[in-house]
A and B are shown apart, each in its own frame.
Chain A
Amino acid sequence: MAVDAGRPKRGALLPKRMAAVTDSRLGSLGVYILRRVLWMIPVVFFVIVITFVLMHSATGSPWDKTGGRQLSQVVVDNLNKKYGLDRPVFEQFLLYLWNVLHFDFGLSYQYQGKSVIQLISEGWPYTATIGTLAFLLIVPVGVGLGVLAALRQNTRVDYATMGFATLAASFPNFVVGALMVVLFSVLTYKWTGGNFFLPAGGWGVDDHLVMPVITLSLLPIAYTARLTRASTLETIRQDYIRTAWAKGLPERLVVIRHVLKNSLIPVVTTLGPTFAFLVTGSVIVETVFSIPGIGRAFVVAVTSRDYPMILGTTVLFSIVIATANLIVDVLYVFIDPRVRLT
Chain B
Amino acid sequence: MHLRVSIRAVTLALTGLFVVSACGGGGTTSQNLASPDKQVINMNDGTEPNSYDPTQQTYVYEAAVGRNVFETLLKSNKEGTDVISAAAESYKVSDDGLTYTFKLRSGAKWSDGKAVTAADWVYGYKHLLNPALAAGYVDPFFDSTIKGADGYGDVDVSKASAIDTFLSSLGLTAPDPNTFVITLQHPAAFFKWVVTLWMAAPIRQDVVEQAAGGTFPSSDTTKAEIWAQKAATIIGNGAFKISEIVSKDHVTLVPNPSYWGGAPHLQKIVLWFIEDANTAYAKYQTGDLDAITVPLANVDVVRNDPKLSKEAKVYPKLTTFWMAYNAQKPPFDNPKVRMAFAKSIDRDKLNKQVQHGIQQSISSFIPKGMAGYDTSNNAQSFDAAAAKKLLTDAGVTADQLNKFKLLTRNTTRNKTLNQFIVDQWNTNLGLNLQLEVIDSKTVTSRLRKGQFDLYGPDGWGADYPDQQDWFDLFFKGACHSLNWGCADIPGYDDLVKKADSELDQNQRNADYKKAQDMLIDQAVVGFIFQDYEYNLIKPYLGGLTITASDDQSLPGSLFWHDAFVTQH
Task: Spell out A's residues near B (CB within 8 Å).
Answer: 58-61, 64-75, 78-79, 81-82, 107, 110-114, 119, 122-123, 178, 181-182, 185-186, 189-190, 194, 197, 199-203, 287-290, 292, 296-297, 303-305
Contacts and interface: CB of A to CB of B under 8 A. Distances in A.
Given A59-B445, A202-B272, A112 B285 contact: no
Contacts of A67: 3-7, 458-459
A81 B158 contact: yes
Given A59-B441, A112-B225, A189 B409 contact: no
Contacts of A289: 279
A60 B249 contact: no
Nearest to A178: B278
Interface string B134-171: 11101110000000000011000110000000000000
Given A64-B448, A186-B285, A292-B249, A74 B229 contact: no
Contacts of A107: 222
Nearest to B484: A70
Interface of B: 3-8, 48, 50-51, 53, 56, 131-132, 134-136, 138-140, 152-153, 157-158, 221-222, 225-226, 228-229, 246-249, 272-276, 278-279, 282-283, 285-288, 409, 439-446, 448, 458-461, 473, 478, 480-482
Contacts of B246: 292
Given A111-B51, A200-B286, A290-B276, A68 B8 contact: yes
23 contacts: A61-B441, A66-B409, A67-B458, A68-B460, A70-B444, A71-B136, A75-B136, A78-B157, A107-B222, A110-B50, A113-B228, A114-B229, A123-B247, A178-B278, A182-B282, A186-B285, A189-B285, A199-B283, A200-B279, A202-B288, A287-B276, A296-B275, A303-B441
B7 A185 contact: no
B50 A305 contact: no
A200 B5 CA distance: 28
Contacts of B6: 67-69
A186 B285 CA distance: 6
A122 B16 CA distance: 45
A182 B274 CA distance: 17
Contacts of B135: 75
Given A69-B482, A70-B448, A74-B152, A200 B409 contact: no
A291 B442 CA distance: 27
Contacts of B248: 122-123, 292, 296-297
A110 B51 CA distance: 9
Given A66-B444, A67-B4, A112 B56 contact: yes
A interface, over-half SS: loop
Nearest to B51: A112
A200 B287 CA distance: 10
A241 to B, nearest CB: 49
A114 B225 CA distance: 9
B422 to A, nearest CB: 20
Given A194-B287, A200-B286, A289-B279, A65 B444 contact: yes
B225 A201 contact: no
A60 B441 contact: yes
Instruction: With a 10 A CB-CB cut-off, give which of A69, A72, A73, A178 has the most chain B CB atoms.
Output: A69
Contacts of A60: 439, 441-442, 444-445
Given A113-B226, A199-B286, A292-B246, 15 more contacts: A59-B445, A61-B441, A69-B478, A71-B134, A72-B140, A72-B153, A74-B139, A74-B153, A82-B157, A182-B282, A200-B283, A201-B279, A287-B275, A290-B279, A292-B273
Contact of A79 (B5, B134, B409, B442): B134
B56 to A, nearest CB: 6
A69 B282 contact: no
A217 B535 CA distance: 35
Contacts of B139: 71-72, 74-75
Contacts of B446: 59
B4 A202 contact: no
A112 B53 contact: yes
A72 B481 contact: yes
A199 B285 CA distance: 11
B495 to A, nearest CB: 21
